[in-house]
Chains A and B, each alone.
Chain A
């Protein structure tokens, strides 16, 4: 059996799904492929992970018709409070500095996934292939050929690798990727608490590692606690009640009484990025292209910006009758994304180094740094524009326009 398909996307996560939705507007036939079986995909069980959605990313989700369903499950962030040591030494990034909508929103990955796939199932030009493990990718004069199963062959003009951290597309297509371990683990959980956080996100910097508290609906917060691996393992061995006690002792009385909602998840942190993210007929998006430190909560935003640019480049090519897999347009995507990626890798890497360190001079410079940033609205605005995703030339979807 041979299927001739215009665009094949591998990976049915958030980014793969959104890529399919963005490109489906072109009228092209799309295959969305994953090795996991369908019933597992719609809900992967309880997922405590959350993402921050920047102002520009929100516009994109709005254009793609996702935000109206997501709105009820998202919480705006109006202020970001960064604390070092204790609440006395803190700076506040207030949304008053950059007028307009809230600077970002916190959304639950679970809910976003549900909404994306409900929408995809209604698209007639998108075919879902489940239980397909990619074994080989080969180039032919016709385009790219995938052999997900013995008797099945998919022939496509453009293959998009949205298959995350251990991307099979990246490996099989021979993209070289650099990887560095942070020797850190992120502990992720959702808590209920008695005192409302309203719309303030907090970033606390103290030993054993930075702690982010992101506000969710109904007096809940998403906690991302980063620490070195041995310490994390020690904490993870604690019974949940004791773990929460430890957490309470760190955040003080600001949340009131805390209880765990759901389970605790943890994963090791590393920095990964592929030098090239395109080759003839193939491109990488999202975590398959690069993984950054979750410290600034920018992973999903970076992935969405990939999708916005790739979709624009592909749509423009299709509208001129050009082959979307042609290296010329894919290079444009690669160039357009390179600066943003480099800036984000460097800044998250740098912030993490600065704040998960016990060296006295660094401790001084971050205190000094916080003071300096706090005293200058100009620098604050720059950081906030970056968080909002407004630096650089914006593709149409991020400007809130149709493709």
Chain B
């Protein structure tokens, strides 16, 4: 069997709900709520690394970004509005169709393609920034996936992953709590064994010759129904690494 990065069972699970991607109070409401802090982390890291001004209307102008596992394009559209040249790839056909239609309606320019990161590597395309958020916990082989993503990165570029840590808390909250008790995400969204510890992710990144830049926790506050960036990385976290010039 060819070692493809996407897990077909998991891709099809997201595909069934593809029409709901842009409903901020639908099945993907969790991602909508998380999006501001994910974008905030990305903006912080990229502005610092590429020496851009945060207050500019389009601080990412001139940057070439690929979003691996873009889903309905929740991240691609904001990145494009901030001035970046954005490519979004996803293994799900429906996802890409929804993403294409939405960006056209909203008049946002994103280059969407239904393909896997290994296909992009084969074509020889590389990017200043590679982003893959809430995806790595769904792929078949995380180590290979990270390696492939790193191959997409230009020297001097930044890579950003966010995912779930494999801890007792994440089992209790992100898996059992979110799926069965609070129904924040559909049952079967996650498989706890595939969650990855920051140390493991850091190891994979180092193996590809990258050095760690920043690690932050993403914490959900039920009282405010809001996500915030913080020090606690026991459940959700986001990590950035740089490729030497």
Question: Which of chain A's residues have a CB closer than 8 A to the CB of B79?
Answer: 321
- The distance from the CB of B95 to the nearest CB of chain A, in whole angstroms, is 18
Q: Does A323 contact B (CB under 8 A)?
A: yes
Q: Which residue of B lies closest to A143 (CB)?
A: B106
Binds A, one of B32-40, B152-160, B161-169: B32-40
Our pick among A142, A322, A326 for the contact of B39 (Cβ within 8 Å) is: A322
B36 touches A316 (CB 8 A): yes
Number of B residues with CB within 8 Å of any CB on chain A: 24
A317 to B102, CA, bound (A): 18
A326 to B25, CA, bound (A): 11
Q: Does A328 contact B (CB under 8 A)?
A: yes
Q: Does A320 contact B (CB under 8 A)?
A: yes
Q: Does A99 contact B (CB under 8 A)?
A: no
Question: Which of chain A's residues have a CB closer than 8 A to the CB of B43?
Answer: 319-320
Q: Which residue of B lies closest to A323 (CB)?
A: B106
- The distance from the CB of B74 to the nearest CB of chain A, in whole angstroms, is 10
A141 touches B105 (CB 8 A): yes
Question: Which of chain B's residues have a CB closer than 8 A to the CB of A326?
Answer: 24, 32
Our pick among B35, B55, B102, B225 for the contact of A322 (Cβ within 8 Å) is: B35
B105 touches A142 (CB 8 A): yes
Question: Which of chain A's residues have a CB closer than 8 A to the CB of B105?
Answer: 141-142
- The distance from the CB of B168 to the nearest CB of chain A, in whole angstroms, is 30
Q: Does A27 contact B (CB under 8 A)?
A: yes
Question: Which of chain A's residues have a CB closer than 8 A to the CB of B36?
Answer: 316-317, 320, 322, 328-329
A317 to B33, CA, bound (A): 12
17 residue pairs of the A-B complex, CB under 8 angstroms, read A319-B43, A319-B55, A320-B35, A320-B36, A320-B39, A321-B80, A322-B35, A322-B36, A322-B78, A323-B77, A323-B106, A326-B24, A328-B32, A328-B33, A328-B36, A332-B226, A335-B225
Report which A residues bind B (CB closer than 8 A).
27, 141-142, 316-317, 319-323, 326-329, 332, 335
Q: Which 3 A/B pairs are nearest by Cβ-Cβ distance?
A: A321-B78, A141-B105, A321-B81
Report which B residues bind A (CB closer than 8 A).
24-25, 32-33, 35-36, 39-40, 43, 54-55, 57, 77-82, 102, 105-107, 225-226
